Structure formats: structure tokens, C-alpha cells
């Protein structure tokens, strides 16, 4: 194995004796640069480009000859205890006979990591790619007319073309996008490309890497979803509700519409937990959440704030009465018992209603006012609906205007 280290200027700080011999470098040569390790073998500056990427924090595997013998090389950033990049560490294994176990292990690592490298000589059009890239794309390795763009996902091609157009004469670019591999496999990759220039500043080659980040992107999406989701019921949580409510208010301003916030609390839910246990109570909350979600429109939102408190956003309304109608529907949706672990469970709810723009002008105001109205229902026995600023309970017959009278009896 050949080993070397370089500093931030890519000046070699240490190297193995065998590498020095292969590169034909005497022990007394001062100020050795990594490009000197390859000499004329690295005519397209593949190794040099890889070292520059390592200084940017990337680890890279590539193949290049040293002293006329092909080697599988890996470079990675050297970091100090604080995590700052202070140089590059490299190693290389001869792969000409395919018998070296270390070489096979390095190649296997590249394939397992879902990464690969390609090199294009812009003067001849010749393209070479690593074994890892061939495996990722599902294509034979030894081709000389590889069109890497042919693997771009059709829906991402415009974005990729825009990124490449911005590339121009710059040193390189980075782009996350999807590829369509042979066999119709769709993967998400991080593509990095660097141009190699001659002494006149003319681009003579391109060096690119593709790293399969499908699993990473899926995990990022899962974490983003969980951050906006109640872990028990899988309903949206407060953060998601406030974000959606802010958008609804902006839309109401634009379209001169209204929206309603319904603050719903299950009456006497504490007794269910106390008498039957929290596991039973959790099952009941999940069942309640599903029923509430089935009794609103697809454009509306049911969120859980915690405990037995739910908030429902009724969007795109013309009148306050439409918000009350939605609240009445949700109230009556709980009339039928829930079957939990073979037992019938009867629940009712208290609902406070705040309508934008009549009751409040921002998400916080609407939530606070709807919460206050819900509490007023609770104080008067529960199982009712109360509209903010209204003088009556509005749960059953809207003709009854008795102040603080519960029109829906348990």
C-alpha cells in the first residue's frame, strides 16, 4: 500500500518509501507537490482534482497510474480535533492483477458506498469510469462513449441543465438530482464535477463523482415529516398547524374569504385514563383522531396539540355559519361509540370556534380565542359548540339564543 499526506497547499508532508521510489522522487527533493507523485501519468490532472475536493471536505475514490502501474486511490480530508480541514490523506493499492485482497476490499467499499467516478478527456471525447460507477448505473464499465446525462431523470433534466449552464468556465459544480439507472431503478445522487485546465486556461477534461444519497434523502424526509407530526396519532402537530394556519390567513386576505379554527377537547377523558390505563387511552385517542379526520374536507386540517386537545382548521369559507356547521358535524361525529379492545367507549367534546378575520387576525390570536371559547363550553357542562363573540351556544338548534345555554345535552 502507498500512503501520503499533504497540507492545505497540497504540499506533501509525508509519504511512504515505496511511493517515493515509484514516482522517481529523491529523498532530498524539497517542496514536493502532490502533482509530482503522478507526474506525466496524471495527464488529465485527475488526482490533483481529487485532492482539491478533499480540501473541500469530500472523500473520493479514483483510479490512476503511478509509475505506469494502475492503482486504486482514495483521498480524504485530514481534520484537526475541532473538525477543521488541515490537509489531505491518501492511500493507493495496486489493482493490475486483481489478486490483492486489500485492493479488492477497497473496490468493494466503493461499490457498497454507492459511489463512483468518471473522467472525460474533452480533447478526444474518451470517457473512463470506475467500477463503482458502473455498478451504480448498471452499465458495462469499459465504454468509451459514456453520456452521463443520459441517466438523468426526465423530471430533473431542466434543473440539471440550468446548473451546468451556470457552471460555465468555473472550476466545478455540485448538484443533487435523480438518475434513472438501467432496469428503471431511480436513485438520488450528489454529483460533483470539476474541470481540468491546461496552462493556457483551456478546459481539457472533466472529472466527476456520483454518490448515491437515496437513503440519506429518505431519512431527511422522514425526519422533516416527524418534526411536523404528532407521534401518537400521526396527525399534524402544533408547528405544522401554525404553519398551515398562517398560509390560510394569507390566502383569505388575497381571496377575501374566511377560515375557522375549532379548538376541540374531549370531555372527561382523564377518567378513561384513570379507570382503564394510559395504553387504553392512547388507543382511544388514535380512534378519535381517525374519526375527526374522516369528517372534514380534504382541504381542511385536523391537528393534535397534545393530551386530548385537537385543533381543526376549516379553510376557504364565505361565512361564519359554515365554520359552525363544520363544528356541529364534528361534535355529532362522536355520537357513535368507539370500540376499543372489544369495549364500547362513549365520548363527547367541547368545541370553541374562532373565525378569521372576525375573531382574530393572526394564528396565535385565533388559537387563544378558540381555546377560551372551548373552556367556556367546559365550564357549562361540555358537549357543545361556542363561537367567539357570539351570545349563545351554537351546537344544536341555532334558533335558541340563550346565553351560555348548552343546546347539546350529553
Residue 29's pLDDT is what?
Answer: 56
Closest CA to 87 of 96, 102, 77: 77
Cell numbers 377575501 correspond to what residue?
256
- Inform me whether the pLDDT recorded for 130 exceeds 80: no
Of the residues 186, 218, 250, the one at which a domain ends: 218
Residue 264 and residue 345 share a domain: yes
**Contact call for residues 380 and 406 (beta carbons, < 8 A):** yes
Residue 186 and residue 243 share a domain: no
Exposure letters 361-400 (e unless 16+ CB within 10 A, then b): eebeebbbbbbebbebbbeeebbbbbbbebebbbbbeeee
| Number of domains the chain is built from | 2
Residue 225 belongs to some domain of the structure: no
Residue 408's pLDDT is what?
Answer: 43
Q: What is the pLDDT of residues 355-397, one digit of tens each?
A: 998 888 899 999 999 999 999 999 999 999 999 874 333 443 3
CATH code of the domain in which 351 resides: 3.30.70.270
Lowest mean pLDDT among 1-5, 217-221, 260-264: 217-221
**Contact call for residues 352 and 265 (beta carbons, < 8 A):** no
Q: Compute the average pLDDT of residues 153-165.
A: 91
Query: In which domain, by residue range, is 364 found?
Result: 231-387
Residue 10 and residue 139 share a domain: yes
Residue 189 and residue 260 share a domain: no
Residue 404's pLDDT is what?
Answer: 35
CATH code of the domain in which 88 resides: 3.30.450.20
Residue 238 and residue 156 share a domain: no
Residue 306 and residue 187 share a domain: no
Residue 243 and residue 179 share a domain: no
- Inform me whether the pLDDT recorded for 165 exceeds 50: yes
Residue 237 and residue 316 share a domain: yes
Instruction: Give the distance from CA 220 to its chain's centroid.
Output: 3
Amino acid at each position: 500500500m502507498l500512503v501520503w499526506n499533504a497540507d492545505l497547499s497540497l504540499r506533501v508532508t509525508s509519504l511512504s518509501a515505496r511511493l517515493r521510489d515509484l514516482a522517481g522522487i529523491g529523498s532530498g527533493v524539497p517542496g514536493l507537490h502532490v502533482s509530482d507523485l503522478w507526474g506525466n501519468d496524471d495527464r488529465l490532472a485527475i488526482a490533483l482534482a481529487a485532492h482539491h475536493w478533499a480540501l473541500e471536505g469530500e472523500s473520493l475514490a479514483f483510479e490512476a497510474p503511478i509509475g505506469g502501474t494502475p492503482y486504486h486511490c482514495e483521498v480524504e480530508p485530514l481534520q484537526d480535533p475541532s473538525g477543521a480541514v488541515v490537509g489531505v490523506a491518501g492511500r493507493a493499492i495496486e489493482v493490475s492483477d486483481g489478486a490483492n485482497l486489500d485492493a479488492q476490499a477497497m473496490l468493494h467499499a466503493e461499490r457498497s458506498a454507492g459511489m463512483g467516478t468518471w473522467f472525460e478527456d474533452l480533447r478526444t471525447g474518451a470517457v473512463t469510469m470506475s467500477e463503482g460507477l458502473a455498478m451504480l448505473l448498471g452499465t458495462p464499465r469499459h465504454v468509451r462513449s459514456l453520456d452521463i446525462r443520459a441517466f438523468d431523470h426526465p423530471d430533473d433534466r431542466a434543473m440539471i441543465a440550468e446548473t451546468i449552464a451556470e457552471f460555465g468556465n468555473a472550476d466545478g459544480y455540485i448538484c443533487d438530482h435523480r438518475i434513472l439507472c438501467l432496469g428503471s431503478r431511480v436513485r438520488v445522487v450528489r454529483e460533483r464535477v470539476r474541470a481540468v485546465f491546461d496552462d493556457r486556461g483551456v478546459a481539457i477534461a472533466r472529472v466527476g463523482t456520483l454518490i448515491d444519497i437515496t437513503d440519506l434523502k429518505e431519512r431527511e424526509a422522514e425526519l422533516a415529516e416527524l418534526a411536523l407530526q404528532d407521534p401518537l396519532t400521526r396527525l399534524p402537530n402544533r408547528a405544522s398547524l401554525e404553519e398551515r394556519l398562517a398560509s390560510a390567513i394569507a390566502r383569505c386576505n388575497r381571496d377575501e374569504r374566511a377560515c375557522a379554527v375549532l379548538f376541540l377537547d374531549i370531555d372527561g377523558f382523564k377518567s378513561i385514563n384513570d379507570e382503564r390505563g394510559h395504553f387504553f387511552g392512547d388507543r382511544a385517542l388514535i380512534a378519535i383522531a381517525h374519526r375527526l379526520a374522516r369528517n372534514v374536507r380534504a382541504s381542511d386540517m385536523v391537528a393534535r396539540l397534545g393530551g386530548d386537545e385537537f385543533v381543526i382548521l376549516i379553510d376557504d369559507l364565505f361565512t361564519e355559519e359554515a365554520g359552525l356547521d363544520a363544528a356541529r358535524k364534528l361534535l355529532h361525529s362522536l355520537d357513535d361509540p368507539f370500540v376499543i379492545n372489544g369495549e364500547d367507549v362513549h365520548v363527547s367534546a367541547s368545541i370553541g370556534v374562532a373565525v378569521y378575520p372576525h375573531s382574530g387576525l393572526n394564528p396565535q390570536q385565533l388559537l387563544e380565542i378558540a381555546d377560551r371559547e372551548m373552556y367556556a363550553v367546559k365550564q357549562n357542562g361540555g358537549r357543545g359548540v361556542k363561537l367567539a363573540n357570539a351570545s349563545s351556544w351554537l351546537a344544536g338548534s341555532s334558533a335558541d339564543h340563550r346565553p351560555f345555554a348548552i343546546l347539546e345535552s350529553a
